[in-house]
Structure 1
Amino acid sequence: MKQRKFLTGLSGDIEINIERKNVKSIRLKVFPTGCIMLSAPVGVSDEWINDYLDSKTGWIEKSLHYFKDTGVNGFETIIRSGISTRILGRQKRIIINEGRSCKIEQKEDIILIQSPNLENKQVLQKQFERWWHKQSKLYFLLTIDRLYPVIAKHGINKPDLQVRKMKTLWGSCSRTRGRINLNYYLYKASPPCIDYVVLHELIHFLYPNHNKDFYEFLTVHMPDWRERKRILDHEIVKELGYSGS
């Protein structure tokens, strides 16, 4: 059951998308796109939801202003100092400084970019994308190494990895080439969600189709996979501007 509610905030009306579903607790999310979603247990009354949202008006406005002020950008089409991005489920602010060489490093919640070409936005963008590709691939390889034993005992060779930008898939696999393809932007997701995508693709080397055997095997090895998929579909997908299911 889906519905909408409007709150009156200091900056105008705020639209909330409300969905009742089989969850144990209420969840309120503000996305960088400005979309606000509340998931509530089926039995929660409209009055309780209204009171809850009224109590959260200040926090919602603060979150909206944060995303506006920091310029959170799912695709990082324009890299500039002060904007925020998500890595492994955590928001990190980008700081760009001039330096003699090109260098990028993470320090707690900051991504520090050093470059002698501060005025050349294209060079900065390419520098950032090369770094992101390298970091994401290293993390994905470690994840594959950790989860590969699930299928190794069935005589499946460990697949190779390719990281690339994809608009409609988090991952895919080629059984004939022995390769897994993972989405460049999957590095934004939290580790449990990345584990879900990697395990999903590994299992396809045993079960090519999404049939009963596939889902039974997935459920045995990751009982909460549906919740991990839900987070990907309703949080990360919306941040990137994808059309989620």
Structure 2
Amino acid sequence: MRDVLDLGELHAEVTRKAIKHVHLSVLPPAGKVRVAAPQSMELDTLRLFVISKLAWIRSQQRKLQNQERETPREFLNKESHYLWGKRYLLEISFADAAPAVSLTPRKLQLQVRPGSAPARCEEVLDAWYRQQVRDVVPALLAKWEPLLGVKAARVFVQRMKTKWGSCTPESGYIRLNTDLAKKPPECLEYIVVHELVHLLEPTHNERFASIMAMYLPQWQHLRRQLNSLPVRHEDWSY
């Protein structure tokens, strides 16, 4: 069952979960507010919490509404696609063989079976992007887990509409957005460190910021860089 906090012009959807801490999210494209709360927390307590975060919520909503978005991908030859921040031109070929993706210095070559629809091209390319992230993550974990003194139980790479990454401290699970493969490599590293730090501090409080600053001094610059880049065009239905 979901509750809704009515704060005048602002409405926050509340979902009860088996968690210890409150998680506040501002979702694209228009800045819908969602609160994940412990099952036992009173609604009035949540109301005060959201009110205390109103300035942050408004700031996040402005960023989302102003953020540049990619045009819809049509999967046509010479369409622009990106890997690790570098632009490639799409080149589609057809063969009666397993789908494949390869790179040249300027082209992203996508091979699919004859008659494949754009949705199938997107599916193949998404799987390839997911694997690019999976291939890089082990080295980042090997670097950062010992430095931070933490260990992720599992890392999932998946398509995510509303976040670049997430962490569930109770389980030790970390999730990373497939689209990070399209951004500069330092953006993925920032998100990996960000989520690992949540194993030490679940919230975005002063302790979280101080740990980030200690281990990744440029983290705020990287956050601004990532959030200034165009995000995937989505059909934002809830």
**TM class by shorter-chain length?**
0.5 to 0.7
Pick closer, same or farther for the CA change 1:167–1:158 going to 2, 3 Å: closer
Q: Is the 8 A contact 1:82 1:94 kept in 2?
A: yes
Kindly state the Cα deviation for residue 118 of structure 1 after the two structures are TM-superposed: 4.4
> Is 1:202 matched up with 2:201?
no
Q: What value does the CA root-mean-square deviation take over the aligned residues?
A: 2.8
Matches within 5 A, 1:1-245: 73=70, 76=73, 78-101=74-97, 102-152=99-149, 156-237=150-231
Partner amino acid for 2:109?
L
- The percent of aligned pairs where both chains have the same amino acid is 23
Structure 2: gaps of 5 or more residues: 1-67
Pick closer, same or farther for the CA change 1:75–1:221 going to 2, 3 Å: farther
Q: Which moved more, 1:127-136 or 1:188-197?
A: 127-136
Q: Matched residue of 1:218: which SS?
A: helix
| Segments of 4+ moved more than 3 angstroms | 72-76, 239-242
Structure 1: gaps of 5 or more residues: 1-34, 36-71
- Provide, for residues 132-153 of structure 1, a one-character-per-residue CA deviation record: whole Å limited to 9, x for no partner: 222222223332232222223x
Larger relative contact order (Cα-Cα within 8 Å, sequence gap ≥ 6): 2
Pick closer, same or farther for the CA change 1:165–1:106 going to 2, 3 Å: same
TM-score for both structures, normalised by structure 1: 0.61
Q: Distance in 2 between matches of 1:134 and 1:75?
A: 22
Q: Is the 8 A contact 1:163 1:183 kept in 2?
A: yes
Kindly state the Cα deviation for residue 93 of structure 1 after the two structures are TM-superposed: 1.2
Partner amino acid for 1:217?
I
Kindly state the Cα deviation for residue 232 of structure 1 after the two structures are TM-superposed: 1.0
Q: Distance in 1 between matches of 2:120 and 2:100?
A: 12
Q: Matched residue of 2:229: which SS?
A: helix
Kindly state the Cα deviation for residue 116 of structure 1 after the two structures are TM-superposed: 2.5
Partner amino acid for 1:91?
R
TM-score for both structures, normalised by structure 2: 0.63
Q: Distance in 2 between matches of 1:170 and 1:236?
A: 13
Q: Distance in 2 between matches of 1:209 and 1:196?
A: 17
